[in-house]
């Protein structure tokens, strides 16, 4: 987790998966906090890693590519029966994975 002026500025979670470690969700106030959280998570994670990155977060996508990650498949979040998804999507940099939302 990251703090700024004593308040939560972001967090990242991870879990072991069948084939690789899955990092996400990563939620942060801005791309700088997101990059710092990603670097901290990568520093303590071994082996293959999966990330499901939000397409709108271009700064983090560039940082991920610089760290050697490559796109594998598209992921489209869809919504039915609601005007918009809850929460502030602008702060979501990595999702937990399609199986978790």
pLDDT at residue 101 tops 60? no
C-alpha dihedral sign at 17, 59, 64, 31: negative
Residue 88 burial class via C-beta count within 10 angstroms: exposed 0-12, middle 13-18, buried 19 and up: exposed
Is residue 16 domain-resident?
Answer: yes
- Report the pLDDT value the prediction gives residue 25, as an integer from 0 to 100: 94
Mean pLDDT of the region 22-32: 95
Is residue 50 domain-resident?
Answer: yes
Owning domain of residue 62: 2-95
Closest-CA residue to 26 (of 97, 95, 100): 95
Q: What does the block give as tokens for 39?
A: 């670097």
User: Alpha-carbon distance 60 to 83, whole Å?
Assistant: 27
Band (77; pLDDT cuts 50, 70, 90)? confident
Is residue 100 domain-resident?
Answer: no
Give the chain's domain count: 1
Is residue 54 domain-resident?
Answer: yes
Which residues fall within 8 angstroms of residue 35, CB to CB, at 6 or more apart?
Answer: 59, 60, 63
Band (55; pLDDT cuts 50, 70, 90)? confident
Mean pLDDT of the region 72-94: 85
């Amino acid at each position: 987790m990251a703090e700024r002026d004593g308040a939560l500025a972001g967090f990242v979670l991870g879990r072991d998966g069948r084939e690789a470690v899955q990092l996400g969700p990563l939620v942060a106030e801005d791309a700088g906090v997101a990059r710092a959280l990603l670097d901290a998570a990568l520093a303590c994670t071994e082996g293959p890693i999966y990330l499901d990155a939000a397409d709108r977060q271009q700064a983090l996508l560039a940082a991920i590519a610089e760290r050697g990650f490559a796109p594998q498949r598209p992921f489209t979040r869809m919504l039915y029966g609601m005007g918009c998804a809850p929460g502030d999507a602008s702060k979501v940099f990595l999702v937990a994975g399609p199986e978790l939302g």
